[in-house]
Amino acid sequence: MTQDAPGYSDVVLQQLRALTAACRSRYQFDGAAWYANKAVTLSAAAPRDVYAFADALFCGGDTARALRTLEIFRFLDPAAFLNARHPAAVAAAAEGNHHRWEGSASRVEAQWLPFFYLTALCLKRLKAWERWAYTCS
């Protein structure tokens, strides 16, 4: 198959995603991060690939880089994260409901909950919650 063939990048992207999942299932997080990084590039930063990349970095111990990855690809808005951390907002989003809150980030969608959760884990591991809250105010 040549690079000019239709669907070539889709086939390669599916292979990269499969390799990422296979490495992650064998706890080979450096390999998973490597393949996920290539998938992010090929998919033009699709949310599932960015999450897989950041998750592999986090599980491999590169927490600061995982958090920075979420920031760079704009899957993490600090103000939205701090406004959405209220348990009722998270619970409502998990049920598919959207609860209104005052502030710039009044809506949490269920598809973004994994990003919020990974962010919270990164901040906890880095012990940077206060620093993060300060930059958002």
Convert the pLDDT of each residue in 77-92 to its tens digit: 655 555 555 555 555 5
Structural domain boundaries, residue 41:
1-75
More confident residue, 125 or 74: 125
Residues 115 and 68 in one domain: no
More confident residue, 127 or 18: 18
Residues 82 and 71 in one domain: no
Degrees (nearest 5) of the Cα angle 51, 54, 56?
105
Degrees (nearest 5) of the Cα angle 119, 120, 121?
90
Residues 28 and 8 in one domain: yes
83 touches 104 (CB < 8 A): yes
Residues 111 and 65 in one domain: no
Residues 111 and 49 in one domain: no
Residues 3 and 61 in one domain: yes
Residues 56 and 85 in one domain: no
pTM metric for this prediction: 0.73
Residues 68 and 84 in one domain: no
pLDDT, tens only, 28-75: 999 999 999 999 999 999 999 999 999 999 999 999 999 999 989 887
Residues 92 and 45 in one domain: no
Domain count, the chain: 2
**Separation CA 49–CA 56 (nearest Å):** 10
The tokens describing 77, both together, are: 């808005």
Residues 88 and 120 in one domain: yes
Q: Residue 57: left (phi > 0), alpha (psi -120 to 50), or beta? A: alpha
